[in-house]
Amino acid sequence: MRQFDLVIRSERVVTPDGVGPAAVGVRSGRISVVADHGAAISGRREADLGGAALLPGCVDIDVGVQRPGQSLVEGYAETTAAAATGGVTTIVVTPAPATPAVTCTDALEAHLRAVAEAGWTHVAFLGGMTPRSTPADLADLRAAGVVGFHCSLSDGGAPDVTAVDDSQLRKAMAELAAMDALLVVHAEDGAELTEPSGPGNGAMLVARPPRAERRGLERVIAAARVTGGRAHIAPFAAAECAAMLAAAHAVGIRVSAQTAPHHLCLPAEVVPDADPEFRCRPPLRSDANRGALWRALLDGTGGGVVASIGSGHRPGTGVAAVGWTLPALWTAARRRGFGLADLSGWTAQRPAELVGLAAKGAIAAGRDADLVAFDPDAEQRVPAGGGPYAGRLLRGQVLATWVSGQEVAVETPPFPPGVRRAGGAVLPARA
């Protein structure tokens, strides 16, 4: 009988070939075999999930990791713990309002030290692109292992990453095209935004209209067309712009987009106006917009370019719900007749492909053993502290998460001496 470090059996294993019964054998942190459910294999540790599903761990692009006033270590401890309990096994950290941007290798080193001290999941990085970024800055960060770059056309990044103009956008995209590096763009155009008339969500919606996304997307598409660069819009909220994405993609322009669970699940009509848990950029839009976003994601309105979903996690400065991505999405997707393979495609396979993490995003031999036990039939009431989903009844529950084959048992910081965390920085080797 073949011996492994870990064997997990499930009647519903999501693989690139579909969903069905299987046994997954793990050795040295990687998937060694995906065998028949009853195969004669054993492991030093074994789990039989029965009817609960086994999914690839989520890869979450565009995550902020700090609340205002938190240290970087505290931010990584809190955010990666929440991610792990929600089935997210890799976060891709972006410049965010309370998160210092990775604009140079010294800043990257500071993040790496914090991840080594406090990270529960794998962590990859988007380099922050500013008006001051030089070709050498971008090349140094790419060589150091960032999986892509981030910029904003308005106020969607960190305070130290100010908005770029068209000249700067095109120049940087030309440099990144030579590296075949992805540029993630917060695409609300600053010239189309106004100061909110008050603190409520309704005022935010008026101040940040869909035309800001449309104008920003026009700028990004023009830059990608001229330079041949790869651009990824995150988050994408104005569904009326999906046809623009589809048209650009159809003529060979390398542009894609991702939306967030809250834009798919929470229409503006039901948002408590004074509750900051629902405040995000771009804002939550109408129920009609929400329906159109689902159509763009599911039936090809977006030409297959709106094909991934990330939490858009912004602790303390926006929607903070990295731990509820799978149940929130599954609750809505199941009602629309979609299955577990779709869920994994949006949250794992497609995001991993976008940022070049070839060892992640799928359950297959040779891939990293980043795995999630998910009961699609369970119901749970989201407790207080669940961000915008608090108090809601959701379908689907994460039962266990494995990072590099190690089951994550998250401890509340400060961590006990000797606690083992399987996660760490992901710095792909560059040619």
Q: What is the DSSP string of 99-118?
A: B--B-SHHHHHHHHHHHHHH
Which pLDDT value is given to residue 199?
86
Residues 87 and 233 in one domain: yes
Using DSSP's 3-state secondary structure scheme, residue 255 falls into: strand
- Residue 206: its H or E element: helix 201-207
Query: In this structure, what token pair is assigned to residue 421?
Result: 């965390």
Using DSSP's 3-state secondary structure scheme, residue 268 falls into: helix
**For 159-189, what is each residue's pLDDT tens digit?**
878 999 999 999 999 999 999 999 999 999 9
pLDDT (mean) for 336-358: 96
Q: Is the peptide bond before 267 cis (omega within 30 degrees of 0)?
A: no
- Specify which residues 308 forms β-bridges with: 258
Residues 288 and 403 in one domain: no
**For 80-118, what is each residue's pLDDT tens digit?**
999 999 999 999 999 999 988 999 999 999 999 999 999
Residues 14 and 138 in one domain: no
Kindly report the pTM of this predicted structure: 0.95
Using DSSP's 3-state secondary structure scheme, residue 386 falls into: coil
Which pLDDT value is given to residue 385?
85
Radius of gyration of the chain (CA): 21
Q: Which residues have C-beta within 8 Å of that of residue 358, sequence separation ≥ 6?
A: 352
Greatest Cα pair distance, the chain, in angstroms, is: 69
Which pLDDT value is given to residue 411?
52
Which pLDDT value is given to residue 420?
45
- CA dist., res. 211 & res. 384, Å (int): 35
Query: In this structure, what token pair is assigned to residue 164?
Result: 């770029």
Residues 137 and 213 in one domain: yes
Which pLDDT value is given to residue 423?
66
Residues 113 and 218 in one domain: yes
Contact 369, 402 (CB under 8 A): yes
| Residue 12: pLDDT over 90 | yes
Residues 154 and 137 in one domain: yes
pLDDT (mean) for 5-32: 98
**For 220-232, what is each residue's pLDDT tens digit?**
999 999 999 999 9
Which pLDDT value is given to residue 157?
81
Q: Predicted confidence band at 429 (pLDDT cuts at 50, 70, 90)?
A: very low
Q: Amino acid identity of 376?
A: P
Residues 42 and 149 in one domain: no
Q: Predicted confidence band at 419 (pLDDT cuts at 50, 70, 90)?
A: very low
Which structural domain range is residue 43 located in? 2-54+367-407
Q: Is residue 425 part of a domain?
A: no
| Structural domains of the chain, count | 2
Domain CATH code at residue 387: 2.30.40.10
**Cα separations (Å) of 371 from 28, 31, 111, 330?**
14, 10, 25, 17
Q: Amino acid identity of 397?
A: Q
| Residue 431: pLDDT over 50 | no
| Residue 158: pLDDT over 90 | no
- CA dist., res. 376 & res. 53, Å (int): 7
Q: β-pairing, 88-93 with 406-407? A: unpaired
Residues 38 and 184 in one domain: no
Query: In this structure, what token pair is assigned to residue 327?
Result: 């149940």
**For 372-399, what is each residue's pLDDT tens digit?**
999 999 999 999 888 999 999 999 999 9
Residues 72 and 221 in one domain: yes
pLDDT (mean) for 136-146: 96
